[in-house]
Chains A and B, each alone.
Chain A
């Protein structure tokens, strides 16, 4: 565990500044997308079109992009599983000539009956028990302690500010696109029309004036909370404990409260309270700055190979020279 290392990365120093962040509590998110619009409003981001909906979802945003810095994910746990549909279909087919089949058993929800009447009842029962699980999560840049984009940026457009947030300076970015694959969370993207990369700045300009970020301000249910990181982690931990108390055993923090060697990218400045495994929200179970993870071994291997190659070339020539002195040959190899 290293300490103080991030300080050497900080590009702007102001006294009294502390780490600020987001705590996004998905258990109170109502999926209204106010954060998406408030973000676009404040940061003057254009509407960049929609992706054709994920089937039954209300999510037409798809993912974060250079002009979408907040994205409300709709996790459809209740989308009918293939089995459930098959069962319903089978029940229908066996239903006889009626427009709607007579489905045995009592209760109001026939889908359940339909499903349970068929085979694979266990799967179906599980799927049905998942009904009513429709989870919303407002995704955003994580402002990682070990930020891949920050490490990758060749121009210094990405900097760490006095609030220890990772901010992209639009007046510097030249659109090289390297931050895009360097982000393990799929946050940064390059705008195809503007040419520059874009991502959440945690409203750096607002923070300078003591205003909270636009998304956190707009969030009707305070699912997005903004504040000093330390304080947020404390609230979040208490919230987890509270939810466990209420029987929501699945509640956990994504990006905060971990043992040092289990931290996500060294700990996230914007962390989340989730209730399902991270992969259901499009989040990796573990991630770190790809640059920090790979740059040392990759460079060693690469430069070593480079030196080896030039040495190999020299050897090949010297050997060929010797050979040719012994006997002139036709060109081979």
Chain B
């Protein structure tokens, strides 16, 4: 955190001086470790085992926050009889189909009810889509046992599930000594409960794994058991890496989402109507019961007058998914010649995406490529100086890709909003005009849209309907004819169609086409026609509760700074402790109040209990803080929404030097997406040729793939060269000298780096062998002021089944002394060419066989 989010660490340091205990768990001793009270070295990719061990410890020692767990989580809920845990099936849950590599999740349901996850249907594959998971959202009424004694209640299942995760096991799997493990567990337990809270912060060390979602789920379970969710000083903090990466998922440029976390429609038999979509995606209990208003309003915003009840609001024209169209799947299609054109805006896949050699080869197969950036980044120059060109595998004169490199405006040369890691939407004013022909992406999209609309104007083809009717009336201003950003923001916020009045909140949204709203969760950002994201009143942060600064910018939803903050009060609505008061029930006023905007219906009494057949928000009780969930409870156990299990289970990383000690029969995550192709070779578990675990990391002085830092001399001089951190023992073994060259080898590539031989990386003893870990920063590429080999050349394409993120935080490799002897990706030259011979499939290749079965 000190390494990649130094200013965020400011507050950690303050907390530390106020007595907080800071624990840092990382394969690599970093700047953060130096400032932490405790540092624990862990083997990359074993976090579920580590956290699972703590969960077991918490359960076994009865150290959980009992009141919180019983009232606010689904610990007491009883699961149906068909469910079989990994304990019974040796590492698999019930419902696994070895042929497809998918789970049939019907057996994971609650007893007496069927629920869908808060985020709606999120699965990636056609098969899973066709299961009846969503309709009715929650059928019947769940059964609970508040004594937590029922053998099939979540609590007991949890206890059984994690019973294997003993401290000894943690030591053997993670390489963390018993003492260190117990120190962390005790610190967490003693700093949780009524009076104290503990917090988890994570970044890509958790997300870039094939088990990413389950790692974070494990932390969530632990935090729920300890009562650390929805309370100040608690929670799980995602430290996201980019200025508006949160915003880019809220207002998503993601294939499977529509704005506001609505899922993209999936193709299904017959004709998919809006009603079908609302049936599968919506809910009849909890906040998602307003689902219809959230989907109709954006359709209204997009298609304007043409979006009517008669036209089904144009829903039929929204493109539909049939499988995985994530970035990596798309690039593989491109490699097979299936993608004509590619827009890359402020992104550098030639360096930043996993298996970047494959990415670059895919770029060479496209007809055209538009890159928008401030400098000549690697993605734009792959045809000139990429390793593939250096090796002679690709020749510029044979690469038929047309490349447009468009100069982009910088952050001060355009106005707009960024959503930071805490969901705070902040508006940036414009200071300058961009130089020369540099333009904002807003300008680019606007003027592109105008051209496209002009081309299709008057077309009566069905497929052109959405373009012809696309509402695109943003006013332009200035010599550059820049579109008005506040007009776009107003559309995102939503307005009353008849009057154009900006909406004050998503509660004003209607499903009858009288309101339009681009992204329901951002509704209220333009309340009363005022740009709320531009508010800059910090308030007195020294005052009690002042750190909330509710008038500094605007946080979605509805300016709430802590989600589910109803949980900061006990079931009766009183703060769990005076020290930790945040939001509470004010009996006199008859409403919820506090330092923050209550994340709960403001006037719902804490003692309200729903009728058994209550629907929508009426079904949420006054003591059920998690109102986005159909049952109002936080889910320790996830009956729906995840593809790889209702509970986190430790699987070894896809590439691992050691066998899975907990579930030897399963090994790696069976639901992982593995693209088995010749140019994507995977190292088998325990492959003796690749005994070293590599993990990637970022440096304070550089930013991601270097597009924004390797062209800045002030930053380049601070970290001018690609290096690898290696422990002294491994270095001695391979004759690698501190400061000398070393080469890192995988089946995909070999890269060279300067060796930093340091105890910041320490060999770990895991069961039966010594595991050496290697730390690799991944900022370098072949362009810019500072050049170096690209770490991502080494990586393999595999993905988490839930979110399709790659595993770059843990893969195996080998190291040797000296420089590489040929271009970094030359070893795959043949395979890549073979890949080219594969006939491009008509449809998405994954739809045929979504995942290869695990070995």
Do A and B come into direct contact in the complex, CB within 8 Å? Answer: yes
A contact residues vs B (CB 8 Å cutoff): 28, 30-34, 36-37, 40-41, 46-50, 52-53, 55-58, 60-61, 76, 78-80, 84-85, 88-89, 91-92, 99-101, 103, 106-111, 113-114, 131-136, 220-222
For A100, list chain B residues within 8 Å (CB): 691, 733, 769-770, 772
27 residue pairs from A and B, CB less than 8 Å apart? A28-B35, A30-B13, A30-B35, A31-B2, A31-B31, A31-B700, A33-B700, A34-B6, A47-B714, A53-B739, A56-B738, A56-B758, A56-B760, A80-B758, A84-B759, A85-B728, A91-B729, A92-B733, A100-B770, A106-B765, A108-B41, A108-B175, A108-B176, A108-B177, A109-B765, A133-B34, A221-B10
Q: Which of B1-36 contact A (CB under 8 A)?
A: 2, 6-7, 9-10, 13, 17, 29, 31-35
- A221, B13: Cβ atoms closer than 8 Å: yes
Q: Kindly identify which residue among B32, B35, B714, B760 contacts A41, using a CB–CB cutoff of 8 Å.
A: B714
Question: Are A80's CB and B34's CB within 8 A?
Answer: no
Query: CA A50 – CA B757 in complex, angstroms?
Result: 20
Nearest residue (CB) in A for B5 is A220
Contact of B727 among A31, A91, A111 (CB under 8 A): A111
Of residues 692 to 738 in B, which have CB atoms within 8 Å of A's CB atoms?
699-701, 713-721, 723, 725, 727-729, 732-733, 738
Nearest-CB residue, chain A, relative to B723: A53
Q: Find chain B residues with CB under 8 A from A47 CB.
A: 713-714, 716-717
Tell me whether B729 and A111 are in contact (CB under 8 A): yes
Residue B807 CB within 8 A of the other chain: no
- Interface contact A52-B757, CB-CB below 8 Å: no
Taking Cβ atoms with an 8 Å cutoff, the residues of B that contact A are 2, 6-7, 9-10, 13, 17, 29, 31-35, 39, 41, 171, 175-177, 180, 688, 691, 699-701, 713-721, 723, 725, 727-729, 732-733, 738-739, 754, 756-760, 762-765, 769-770, 772
User: How far, in whole Å, are A78 and B28 apart by their CA atoms in the complex?
Assistant: 13
Q: When A55-B738, A55-B757 are in contact, do A28 and B13 touch as well, CB less than 8 Å?
A: yes
Q: With A and B bound together, what is the CA distance between A36 and B758 in angstroms?
A: 25
- Chain B min CB distance to A244 (Å): 15
Is the beta-carbon distance between A32 and B763 smaller than 8 angstroms? Answer: no
- B714 adjacent to A40 (CB under 8 Å): yes
Looking at the assembled complex, report how far the CB atom of A60 sits from the nearest CB atom of chain B, in whole angstroms.
6
B8, closest chain A residue (CB): A220
Contacts of A41 in B (CB 8 A): 714
Asked whether, in the complex, the Cβ of A53 is within 8 Å of the Cβ of B764, the reply is no
Q: How far is the CA of A85 from the CA of B177 in the complex (A)?
A: 23
Minimum CB–CB distance from B51 to chain A (whole Å) comes to 17
Bound-state Cα–Cα, A70 to B127, Å: 60
When the two chains form their complex, are residues B765 and A136 in contact, meaning their CB atoms are under 8 A apart?
Answer: no
Least CB distance, A33 to chain B, in whole angstroms: 5
- Does A136 lie within 8 Å of B31, measured CB to CB? yes
List chain B residues, Cβ under 8 A from A40. 714
C-alpha gap A37/B720 in the complex (Å): 15
Asked if A36 meets B718 with Cβ closer than 8 Å, knowing A55-B756, A79-B758, A136-B34, the reply is yes
User: How many A-B Cβ pairs are below 8 Å?
Assistant: 153
The CA-CA distance from A78 to B31 in the complex, in Å, is 13
Shortest beta-carbon contacts, A-B, top 10: A47-B713, A56-B758, A30-B2, A32-B6, A47-B717, A56-B756, A55-B738, A221-B13, A220-B6, A50-B720
- B786: nearest residue on chain A (CB-CB)? A50
- Which of A34, A89, A131, A220 is the one whose CB lies under 8 Å from B759? A131
Q: Is the CB of B758 within 8 A of A33?
A: no
Which residues on A sit within 8 Å (CB–CB) of B756? 53, 55-57
Contact at A111–B728, with CB atoms within 8 Å?
A: yes
A273 to chain B, nearest CB (A): 14
Contacts of A55 in B (CB 8 A): 738-739, 756-757
A103 partner, pick from B17, B41, B770, beta carbons under 8 A = B770
Question: In the complex the two chains form, what is the Cα distance from A30 to B7 in whole Å?
Answer: 10
Contacts known (A52-B739, A55-B739, A80-B757); A89 close to B769, Cβ less than 8 A? no
Q: Is the CB of B6 within 8 A of A110?
A: no
Other A-B contacts than A53-B723, A56-B756, 13 sampled, CB-CB below 8 A, are A30-B2, A32-B700, A36-B718, A37-B718, A56-B758, A61-B718, A85-B732, A100-B733, A101-B770, A110-B729, A111-B759, A134-B34, A221-B6
Q: Please report the C-alpha to C-alpha distance between residue A92 and residue B772 in the assembled complex, in whole angstroms.
A: 14
Residues in B with CB closer than 8 Å to A56 are 725, 738, 756-758, 760
On chain B, the residues within 8 Å of A53 by CB distance are 721, 723, 739, 754, 756
Contact assessment for B732 and A88 in the assembled complex, using a CB-CB cutoff below 8 Å: yes
Of the candidates B9, B171, B700, B759, which one forms a contact with A80 in the assembled complex, judged by CB atoms under 8 Å apart?
B759
In the complex, A18 Cα to B213 Cα: how many Å? Answer: 57
| Cα(A30)–Cα(B10), bound, Å | 9
Pairwise interchain contact B715-A37, C-beta atoms closer than 8 A: yes
Q: Chain B residue with minimal CB distance to A79?
A: B758
Contacts of B13 in A (CB 8 A): 28, 30, 221-222
Complex contact A220–B10 (CB within 8 A): yes
Chain A neighbourhood of B9, CB < 8 A: 30, 220-221
Contact A109 B721 (CB under 8 A): no
C-alpha spacing A76/B760, complex, angstroms = 10
How far, in Å, is A35 (CB) from chain B's closest CB? 11
The docked-state distance in angstroms from the alpha carbon of A293 to that of B558 is: 68
A92 touches B764 (CB 8 A): no
List B contacts of A85 (CB < 8 A): 728, 732
Closest to A130 in B: B759
Minimum distance in angstroms from A300 CB to a CB of chain B? 46
Task: Output the nearest chain A residue to B1 by Cβ-Cβ distance.
Answer: A30
Known contacts A30-B2, A50-B717, A100-B772, A108 near B764 by CB under 8 Å: yes
A221 to B8, CA, bound (A): 9
Chain A residue numbers with a CB within 8 Å of B175 are: 108
Residues B29 and A132 in contact, CB atoms below 8 Å apart:
yes
Q: How far is the CA of A89 from the CA of B715 in the complex (A)?
A: 37
B732 touches A108 (CB 8 A): no
Chain B residues, Cβ within 8 Å of A31: 2, 31, 34, 700
Q: How far is the CA of A103 from the CA of B759 in the complex (A)?
A: 18
**In the complex, chain B residues whose CB is within 8 Å of the CB of A221:** 6, 9-10, 13
Tell me which residues across on chain B come within 8 A of A131, comparing CB atoms: 759, 762
A80 touches B728 (CB 8 A): yes
A159 to chain B, nearest CB (A): 28
Bound form: Cα–Cα A136–B35 in Å:
10
**Which B residues are CB-close (under 8 A) to A32?**
2, 6, 31, 700
Q: A61-B718, A92-B733 are in contact. Are A220 and B7 (CB under 8 A)?
A: yes
Assembled-state Cα–Cα distance A14/B392 (Å): 69
Option from A52, A92, A132 in Cβ contact (under 8 Å) with B729: A92
Q: Taking the nearest CB of chain A, how far is it from the CB of B486, in angstroms?
A: 31
Q: Within the complex, what minimum Cβ distance (angstroms) separates B562 from chain A?
A: 23
A221–B31 CA distance with the chains assembled, in angstroms: 13
Decide: A110 and B760 in contact? CB cutoff 8 A.
no
Residues of chain B contacted by A89 (CB below 8 angstroms) = 732
Q: Closest CB of chain A to B787's CB: distance in Å?
A: 14
- What separation, in Å, do the CA atoms of A80 and B738 have in the docked complex? 10
Q: Once bound together, how far apart are the Cα atoms of A93 and B830, in whole Å?
A: 39
